[in-house]
Amino acid sequence: MTADWNTACPDWEKRIVAGEPLVPDLPLYSDQAAKGLRIFKRLRVPDMIGTPRLGEVCGPWFLKIVEVLFGCYDIETHSRAIQEYFLLVPKKNSKSSYGGPLMLTAAIMNQRPEAEFNFIAPTKNIAGIAYKQAMGTIKKDPALDALFQCRDHVKTIEHRTNGTKLQILAADTNIVTGSKAVGTMIDETHVFAEKAKAEDIFLELRGAMTSKSDGFLIQTSTQSKKPPTGVFKQELQTARDVRDGELDERVLAVLYEYPGDYVERDAWKDPATWHIVNPNYNKSVNGDFLKRQMRKAERKGTDAIILFASQHLNVEIGLRLGNDRWRGADYWLTAADPTLTLDTLIERSEVVTIGIDGGGNDDLVGLAVLGRCKETKHWMLWNYAWCQPGVLEIRKEIAPKLLELKDLGQLTICKNPTDDIQGVADIVERVFDEGLLPEKYGVGFDPIGVSAMVDELSERGIENAENGGPVGAVAQGYRLAGAIWGMERKLSDGTFIHAGQELMNFCVGNAKAERRGNAIIIDKQISGTAKIDPLIASFNAFKYMERNPEAAGKSVYRERGLLMVG
């Protein structure tokens, strides 16, 4: 990329707090930029009182994006210097109301015969609303009504002379695959990303641009209603990296989100900061309405507050968001050591305890390997998980995340019903053979529903405590409170590190804590359908490490077998 078209905006935090544009200065083609702005501003908003022109009501923040989209087009080479755009804006900032006219402007400006422009909405209902908006814009302008034909039954707007089409599609249609669109706008990427084969569809959309240097792809979205995952997480991270100057790509990333320290100190709860992330504040976004919604959310509880924050303030749901979060989450990210693997943990440890947790066929099986460092005596954690394929159907809301964890090599989707039992036993046996497990109380289970796992370990010579082995039960519920508090303390004082796995970021972010009497409870019932099994496994391993165990050492019998005396 040449420096002139560099889309990085590294001073975005200063700009957003000051209310300045988040679009960097670019060497736009002034004639094309002016023409695009002139057409866009002329269009009328059909669902506002008085049907004003966009030039009268459109927020300045969006006009800068319009200017770049058309001002980066070289009319001589028919190429666009910036082909991708990512807009993250809270609800009610008119991104959909602006998006339809923007795509209509692109259809008017287009010079390619028989060109296709797609507006992709997350549902058929929203797609219908988008079509109605675009059609209304055309009907309010006699010149446009003469230029375009609106075909209601297929939600398509067609140029009467050059065949250019603006199609309004729902994200759950198969039409997206094989797209030949010159321009595509995706509304609510975080919802679109939950669709089956979302990655394949994005590949198709980008593939359409490879042979069209005048093509473009625009994504608009609010924050996700749950921790970002799948395609949305990838696209959001790419946009942030480009904005911050860490990735050299021609993507215009305009993200209305709080600077990091605002989230750290919960400044988003103060209405005085809401204008920072709402560029249409006190225009299409009514400040008094937001305050009422916040008060309603506070009466309903934490889940409602989190939903309000994600949708109206673009606060990302994750480790630090939620009054009922586990307090260890506040220190989790800073305790990560990405160099820690199962191999390096075994190599560095003087003793290891293992925790296991799992439930029915709609649960994960979670494994935690916890080592005590020979040199520093710090505790080191590595995790893994398994799930049966039926979980992807039963828990469709987390299926994209589970597939992401599989691709990261942190979770196995079982091909055979016993793959999880075999996988856990293989790792336990490896640690046992290294002589790192304590003689007793080295492998801790939730005592419910583990008979098959215990039998498999017994067959490998790793017995339960009653038979003199390291395998034992760990009492759950309030009896885990000591491990929960203990891990919080060690995370905060820097004596507990983990492998920095996305699997555990997911589980820790899901964990909800509840105080009962003098104890703190984190369990699956409190956390709902979100998965925390590997975290519970970690507490199980922590309980056994709290005993200050010593490694039993390698068994001579496993190496040489029994000696018979005649």
- Report the CATH number at residue 25: 3.40.50.300
Count H helices, E strands: the chain?
A: 25, 19
Question: Which residues make beta-bridge pairs with 357?
Answer: 366
| In a shared domain, residues 335 and 292 | no
- Output the pLDDT for position 526: 42
| Cβ–Cβ under 8 Å, residues 509 and 501 | no
- Output the pLDDT for position 359: 67
For residue 228, name the pLDDT band (cuts at 50, 70, 90). confident
pTM for the model stands at 0.71
| In a shared domain, residues 153 and 102 | yes
- Output the pLDDT for position 449: 64
pLDDT above 50: residue 1: no
Helix (H) or strand (E) holding 186, with range, is strand 183-187
- Output the pLDDT for position 527: 47
| In a shared domain, residues 176 and 59 | yes
560 lies in a domain? no
| In a shared domain, residues 124 and 74 | yes
For residue 76, name the pLDDT band (cuts at 50, 70, 90). very high
CA distance 232 to 203: 14
- Select, from the ranges 167-176, 276-285, 519-528, the one with the highest average predicted confidence (pLDDT): 276-285
pLDDT above 90: residue 565: no
| In a shared domain, residues 276 and 347 | no
> Could you please report the per-residue DSSP string of 108-171?
HH--STT-EEEEEESSHHHHHHHHHHHHHHHHT-HHHHHHEEEEGGGTEEEETTT--EEEEEET
What sign results for the dihedral spanned by CA atoms 262, 266, 269, 271?
negative
pLDDT tens-digit readout, 132-151: 888 999 999 999 999 999 99
> Could you tell me what percent of the chain has a pLDDT over 90?
59
- Output the pLDDT for position 196: 66
pLDDT above 90: residue 316: no
| In a shared domain, residues 80 and 165 | yes
CA distance 307 to 322: 10
pLDDT above 60: residue 175: no
pLDDT above 80: residue 193: no
Per-residue pLDDT, averaged over 426-432, amounts to 96
- Output the pLDDT for position 530: 57
- Output the pLDDT for position 442: 93
* Pairing mode, strands 216-221 and 349-358: unpaired
In 3D space, the residue among 547, 526, 550, 551 whose CA is nearest the CA of residue 536 turns out to be 526
pLDDT above 70: residue 525: no
pLDDT tens-digit readout, 535-558: 999 999 999 999 999 998 865 445
In 3D space, the residue among 398, 392, 405 whose CA is nearest the CA of residue 501 turns out to be 405
DSSP state, residue 354: E
- Output the pLDDT for position 407: 93
| In a shared domain, residues 387 and 410 | yes
For residue 83, name the pLDDT band (cuts at 50, 70, 90). very high
In 3D space, the residue among 543, 545, 527 whose CA is nearest the CA of residue 359 turns out to be 527
Give the mean pLDDT of the chain: 87
pLDDT above 80: residue 180: no
| In a shared domain, residues 447 and 537 | yes
Per-residue pLDDT, averaged over 444-456, amounts to 82
- Output the pLDDT for position 562: 47
| In a shared domain, residues 362 and 341 | yes
**Angle at the Cα of 337 (from 336 to 340), degrees rounded to 5?**
130
CATH number at residue 464: 3.30.420.240
**Angle at the Cα of 373 (from 372 to 378), degrees rounded to 5?**
75
| Cβ–Cβ under 8 Å, residues 105 and 134 | no
321 lies in a domain? no
Phi/psi of residue 183, each to 5°? Answer: -135, 140
CA distances (Å), 335 to each of 332, 348, 352, 373, 378, in order?
A: 5, 17, 19, 15, 11
For residue 354, name the pLDDT band (cuts at 50, 70, 90). very high
> Could you please report the per-residue DSSP string of 217-283?
EEEEE---SSS--HHHHHHHHHHHHHHTTSS---EEEEE----HHHHHTTGGGSGGGHHHH-TTBTT
558 lies in a domain? no
Q: How many domains does the chain have?
A: 3
| In a shared domain, residues 213 and 65 | yes
For residue 566, name the pLDDT band (cuts at 50, 70, 90). very low
563 lies in a domain? no
Proportion of the chain in helix, strand, coil states, percent, rounded to 5: 45, 20, 35
pLDDT tens-digit readout, 325-336: 788 888 898 899
Question: Which residues make beta-bridge pairs with 281?
Answer: 285
556 lies in a domain? no
Is the pLDDT higher at 477 or at 235?
235
CA distances (Å), 73 to each of 4, 81, 206, in order?
A: 14, 6, 18
CA 92, 98, 103, 109: dihedral to nearest 10 degrees? Answer: -170
The number of CA neighbours under 13 Å toward the Cβ of 559 is 8
Is the pLDDT higher at 564 or at 58?
58
Helix (H) or strand (E) holding 524, with range, is helix 524-527
Other CB atoms closer than 10 Å to residue 267's CB: what's the count? 14
The number of CA neighbours under 13 Å toward the Cβ of 162 is 13
CA distances (Å), 291 to each of 91, 379, 550, in order?
A: 14, 45, 57
Separation of CA 86 from chain center: 15
The domain in which residue 428 lies consists of: 329-545
DSSP state, residue 67: H
Q: Which structure tokens are listed for 470?
A: 């390291």
- Output the pLDDT for position 560: 44
| In a shared domain, residues 293 and 178 | no
Residue found by looking up tokens 């949708």 in the block: 311
Phi/psi of residue 291, each to 5°? Answer: -65, -40
73 lies in a domain? yes
559 lies in a domain? no
pLDDT above 90: residue 168: no
| Cβ–Cβ under 8 Å, residues 455 and 483 | no
| In a shared domain, residues 245 and 375 | no
302 lies in a domain? yes
> Could you tell me what percent of the chain has a pLDDT over 70?
91
